[in-house]
Chain A
Amino acid sequence: MFLAFEEIKKEKKRYGLIVLMIFLVSYLIFLLSSLAIGLQNENTQAIDSWGIQRVVLNKNANISMPQSILTNKDTTDTKIGKKESVIGQLPVVVKAAGRSSLTAQFLGIKKGQFIYQDQQLVAGRRAQKNDEVTVDETFKTVNHYRLGDQLELNISGQKYKIVGFVNGAKINMLPIIYGDLSVWQTARQTVPNVAFSGIVSKDRHYTYNHLDAKTYSVKTFVNKLTGYAIQKTTFTLMIAFLFLISMVIIAVFLYILTLQKLHNFAVMRAQGISTRTLVNAVISQSLLLTVTGVVLALLCMWLTVAILPAAVPMNFAPTIIISGSLGMLITGIIGGLIPVRSIIKIDPAQAI
């Protein structure tokens, strides 16, 4: 540590630049992964918040809830307990006086069932009447709606009053409007005897297969969300390559750094300083530089999260923090370890 530290002290500019590079690369990794995960979470935010395991849909709906309609006949035998909720889902266009239209997902739900009960309200209350709705928080943070605002939905001629804002209510990238199931039923009345789109259950063993109704695991359901699977592959590859290439770049930099110092090492070897001391110095120096860079990047990320507008989906998740930091530290160690062979092979006579 002594050698590592003293050298950094002497060559402040050089090591400053290395730290800057490590900082920038880590920041890039943190930022892009957070954005990717944030964006991807918007697909499943609501589904995750419900904590469901099984989904029952019309078997001809291609596992898509907005496409699914179950009739009273299909659903005669359903057992709806504490762990189940029924949903009627429809994409809608929202209009309000003096505002531009926006697309959302209408989810008709029933009072008393868990989705209704478990709504995480950041403001207001749950809907009581059929013309009241609760909406995703972004209605407020991004589109500046307020409690009491009236919405016009293109699925009916009626107006609906916002009575609450719900945290994390997004599905398939769109904000959710939670309203009463009867609104959905009215909108779907072209089909006789409509009941709802589907049933979601928190019970891992919940199964209901009857006539057109079929049960799917939540995993199957999520993977069938429009664009979800391909997005996931794209993001995973993107982040993986980002990680890999950054790691190689940093490792190579640390390697070059060490190679440049071989003469100094020869001098110390001539003085009788052991190879182990030198190897320790190199590795602890790599770690010192990497830790400094990563800590700076983390601080910068928290700042970024704080000042970024709410409209930008960003999820600086603990998994990113942990895997990103660990990845960088391992890179640091590897970058320090690659030149060890050169250090061991140093001929102290080179110092002559």
Chain B
Amino acid sequence: MAVIEIKDVKKTYGHGSAQVEALKKINFEANRSEVVLIMGPSGSGKSTFLTIAGSLQKPTAGQVFVNGEDITHFSAQQSSSLRLNKIGFVLQAYNLVPFLTVRKQFVLVDKVKKNNNLSQAKLNQLFNELGITKLIDKYPQELSGGQQQRVAIARALYANPEILLADEPTASLDTSNVEEVGKLFKRLAKEHNKAIMLVTHDPRLEKYADHIYDMMDGKLVKQK
């Protein structure tokens, strides 16, 4: 069974003449142990698609299933709990809390989600792989874009989600970091059985993907 299944999803923003059809009847599936890449030009609807898949916002029409459960009409509280427990997000604008140091970002996760987070040893290993061990006492504003991005990835993975959704996770990274992050994603999918969806422009990630889709003007086309 697909971990995420998207059926005939449409998303329209605004009303009247300002109306934008960001997604036009999309069908899609993501499975465990797979890395899926969604590529496409700016404004084509990639972020919209990812946030609907992760229950950050609701589709205008169509259905979204997570593990076979229809989450389309989840309440705000249900969505919130789903995101906390099953889904890790790395958003385009990163999503670190500005007044918490890197270390405290993880303490916050511990405070709101008591179970099934990574062990300290695994977290340290993750920090090493991502090259952010030395940054743990810094505030987000003291980090470069790429460093924030890697911290955001670590934070999303710390809660040990079944699904990882990442929006341009490598936009500010240099090639060696991209390789690290790509390998990490691949390993998480293969060894830890996670479903990983990456929205990206970055062709350097293509070699780690099991499937590649192109988003064009609100329509999804499978490439690989």
Contact = CB atoms under 8 A, between A and B. Distances in A.
Given A270-B83, A274-B81, A7 B56 contact: no
A10 B139 contact: yes
B82 A272 contact: yes
B6 interface: no
Interface of A: 2-3, 6-7, 9-11, 264, 267-275, 277, 347-349, 351-352
Contact of A270 (B85, B95, B104, B112): B95
Contacts of B51: 349, 352
A352 B77 contact: no
Given A269-B80, A274-B80, A351-B91, A3 B108 contact: yes
B99 A270 contact: no
A264 B57 CA distance: 17
B97 A270 contact: no
Contact of B47 (A9, A270, A352): A352
B107 interface: yes
Contacts of A277: 111-112
A351 B99 contact: no
A352 B93 contact: yes
Nearest to B141: A10
Contact of B92 (A6, A7, A271, A352): A352
B77 A271 contact: no
A271 B83 contact: yes
Interface residues of B, number: 35
Contact of B76 (A3, A6, A267, A275): A275
B139 A273 contact: no
B89 A271 contact: yes
25 contacts: A2-B107, A9-B99, A10-B99, A267-B95, A267-B97, A269-B80, A271-B89, A272-B80, A272-B81, A272-B85, A272-B113, A273-B112, A275-B76, A275-B80, A347-B57, A349-B56, A349-B57, A351-B56, A351-B91, A351-B93, A352-B47, A352-B51, A352-B56, A352-B92, A352-B93
Given A268-B97, A352-B51, 14 more contacts: A2-B107, A3-B97, A7-B99, A10-B98, A267-B95, A271-B89, A272-B85, A272-B87, A272-B159, A274-B112, A348-B83, A352-B47, A352-B93, A352-B167
Contacts of A270: 56, 83, 89, 91, 95
Contacts of A6: 99-100, 104
A235 to B, nearest CB: 43
Nearest to B82: A272
B96 interface: yes
Contacts of B89: 270-271
A134 B47 CA distance: 88
B184 interface: no
B136 interface: no
Nearest to A344: B76
A10 B139 CA distance: 9
Contacts of B111: 2, 277
B96 A267 contact: yes
Among B95, B139, B159, B167: residue with most chain A CB under 10 A: B95
Contact of B80 (A2, A11, A273, A352): A273
A264 B97 contact: yes
A272 B97 contact: no
Nearest to B76: A275
